Amino acid sequence: MVIMTGCASATSQLTMGDYNAVISKYSNYIKSNDAEINYQVAEAYRLSNRIKEAEPFYRAALKEGTAEESVSYYYARSLKANQKYEEARKILEKALPNTTDSLISQLIQFEIRGLASLDDMAGSETYFRVKNLDLINTEGAEYAPVYNNEFLYFSSNRDGGKIYKSTGTAFTDIYKVRTKGANIDGRSLVALDPLINDPMINEGSLAIGGNGNYLLFAKGNSGKATGTLEVNIYSTRYRNGNWQQPRPINVNDPNAYDGTPALNDEGNTLYFASNREGGFGGADLYVAQLDRRGRWGDIRNLGPEINTPGNEMFPFISVSGELYFASDGHPGFGNLDLFKATRIGGSMIIENLGEPMNSAADDFGFNEYNLTKGFFSSNRSGGKGDDDIYTFINDDPNLKIINYFLKGTTLTINTAGEEIIVSNTKVDLMSEDGQVIDEFYTGEDGTFRFRVFAEEAYHLRAEKTAYFTTRKEFTTVGKSIKRDTITQFQTDVMFDLNVNLEQIVIEKPVILNNIYYDLDKADIRPDAEPTLDSLVLIMRDNPQIFIELGSHTDARDTEVYNLDLSQRRAKSAVDYLITNGISSDRVIAKGYGESQLIVKEAQTEEAHQINRRTEFKVLKYNPDQMSEEEKDKDPLDEYERFFDKEEGK
């Protein structure tokens, strides 16, 4: 596997990523007393994904007193790769009290906790069986398998060619081979189009969508002085019998590594790894959504439950909605281990897949072709070469899949009182505490669908220009199916919930129900606070609106008194909004007194209270203006959006 990432800053060769040159030139320094040279050689081994060989050089650097604080951590990682777990633990525990670098300290603490849990992980029961896919593997590297439409795609340097200086091996290209499950037709193996495979650049891990007609792949590490951080994700489509010219997608950060892409089943959610600023350590997992114009946007980090100070890479979303990924930060057996993240009751449960899926080596690139079978990559001992592709079978006798989905349509009421579809709407699925879990852009039919999880409460938030952003609550609490009551292997449960949006109309009054006042008083009653809180939320969700908050009285006093009272009441409501974070320039108070009674001849207290109401109306609406470039952009970008209408013809 070519771990396409940045390089250390030591000698000029290290700086340029020429790790193999460092190893060739300086590896005999293990017998010297030069701490810095030994550290540089160790780093060259580590950064070229040969951390097992780095062990004696880190040991020598530590013994000779290197000033590098990271040496103990990486020395322990090399010991761990060689299954010297107890020795690794002692090195880390000795180093921790003297470590001043906060990131290294975090990494050491994570590793100590991970090593402490090894006995439990090693003794846990698993139902996986694995086998080397020897028909496809060579002495070179084969990694990152992806199954799609009876083809297995993977990356490999099997055909030799130009040498990549970092590893001393050939650059990697993308290949495909016809297969039925794990039954490979070796005669069909071919490299992808030269338009995709550049002999002077690494083509790495990939994602396939649209029945094999849409390709995302990592591309970079040219080996040039300026070519070590330029790993980006590229996209191309297969049209009219040819792959189109690949081009970088818009999620890439020019100053970071971006790679290991993966798509969900629908093809509208992209998962990828990046070491961009703002993450939790090394490479983190991120997610992006395909918008209605065919661009990947709303990029967000998957958060600290998934990401660690270490590296999280190679995501995969299963049909059952679980996230599989590789990590060297979560407790594991070696370097990269395979993990599964399952959402249960609002929390993310991270599970190491255990042995034999994981080993002391790198285990990564998990990919299912059905619910119990699939592929992964590993450079464990006993393989045919560097990285090999393995098959797995999950024989768990109690494996039952229950999928929960929420679907609906975005609607509105027109002037004739008819319910009509609101198309091209962004809908967010949010947790109970307001965190965005998933996003969807509806098409012309206004429909959306989300995967939801058992025993959780959610908010749906729908937003579209010229409409109030609207929220609606939904819960699966008390609606889940007990696993022991089902007999079939997979059960899909579908919930329906439509979302009604209201069009923004300037100067149209909207009554705020349950904001009432006691006779002759302007104080906000406790029973009015929830309604005002909902108005605070409306103002936050709709930052483009500027409103008037109007108050009305009943007619049981003089007009002058009532006008003054209503002004004080309106100001009390406005003050409440401002106290809760709404800018004072977005809302004004207006008292109407008894001039706009709803019940003209009120006789009862209930009728008088209806007249003592509060309303708001939009005075000004400033929707975000789309740039001219965006207005002219083809909404079905032929390179970035693969599931357009043509795919269904």
Would you say 454 and 487 are in contact if contact means Cβ atoms under 8 Å apart?
A: no
Q: What would the CATH number be for the domain defined by 12-116?
A: 1.25.40.10
Q: pLDDT at position 12, please?
A: 58
d(CA 206, CA 191): 14
Question: What fold does the segment set 401-500 form as a domain?
Answer: Immunoglobulin-like (2.60.40)
Would you say 193 and 237 are in contact if contact means Cβ atoms under 8 Å apart?
A: no
Q: pLDDT at position 644, please?
A: 42
CA nearest 276: which of 289, 264, 267, 285? 285
Neighbours of 448 (CB within 10 A): 26
d(CA 109, CA 183): 44
Task: Report the sign of the C-alpha dihedral through residues 217, 222, 228, 230, in that order.
Answer: negative
Q: What is the mean pLDDT of residues 429-442?
A: 90
What residues have CB less than 8 Å from 454, skipping those under 6 apart?
Answer: 344, 345, 402, 404, 476, 480
Helix residue ranges, H only, 252-352? none
Does residue 298 register a pLDDT over 60?
yes
Number of H helices, E strands in the chain: 12, 37
Does residue 207 register a pLDDT over 60?
yes
What phi and psi, each to the nearest 5 degrees, are found at residue 484? Answer: -80, 0
Q: What is the pTM of this model?
A: 0.83
Amino acid in position 75? Y
Instruction: Report the chain's mean pLDDT, rounded to a whole number.
Output: 88
Q: Where are the domains of the chain?
A: 12-116, 128-394, 401-500, 510-621
- Hey, which bits of 265-372 come out as E strands? 269-274, 284-290, 296-301, 312-317, 323-327, 337-344, 347-352, 363-368
Segment 77-93, tens digit of pLDDT:
999 999 999 999 999 99
Percent of the chain at pLDDT above 90? 63
Q: What would the CATH number be for the domain defined by 510-621?
A: 3.30.1330.60
- Angle (deg, nearest 10), helices 85-95 and 71-81: 170
Using alpha carbons, list the distances in angstroms from residue 124 to 26, 119, 398, 477. Answer: 43, 9, 16, 31
Tokens linked to 164? 């990549």
* Confidence label for 637 from pLDDT (cuts 50, 70 and 90): very low
Q: What is the mean pLDDT of residues 168-186?
A: 93
Parallel/antiparallel/unpaired status of strands 169-170 and 183-184: unpaired
Using alpha carbons, list the distances in angstroms from residue 468 to 101, 425, 545, 619. Answer: 48, 12, 9, 14
d(CA 462, CA 427): 4
For the CA atoms of 431, 432, 434, 436, the dihedral, rounded to the nearest 10 degrees, stands at 10
Tokens linked to 598? 């709803």
Q: pLDDT at position 602, please?
A: 82
Segment 232-243, tens digit of pLDDT:
999 999 998 899
d(CA 35, CA 39): 6
d(CA 347, CA 351): 13
Query: How long a stretch of residues is the chain?
Result: 649
Would you say 245 and 236 are in contact if contact means Cβ atoms under 8 Å apart?
A: yes
User: 579 versus 603: which is more confidently predicted?
Assistant: 579
Q: Is 606 exposed, middle or buried (0-12, 13-18, 19+ CB in 10 A)?
A: exposed
Segment 508-550, tens digit of pLDDT:
988 887 787 777 778 888 888 899 999 999 999 999 999 999 9
Using alpha carbons, list the distances in angstroms from residue 65 to 60, 85, 94, 254, 327. Answer: 9, 23, 14, 37, 30
Does residue 646 register a pLDDT over 90?
no
Parallel/antiparallel/unpaired status of strands 173-180 and 183-184: antiparallel
* Confidence label for 627 from pLDDT (cuts 50, 70 and 90): very low
Q: Is 54 exposed, middle or buried (0-12, 13-18, 19+ CB in 10 A)?
A: buried
128-394 belongs to which CATH class? mainly beta
3-class state of residue 358 by DSSP: coil
Segment 259-296, tens digit of pLDDT:
999 999 888 899 999 999 999 989 999 999 988 778 89
Q: What is the mean pLDDT of residues 353-374?
A: 95
CA nearest 590: which of 570, 576, 572? 570
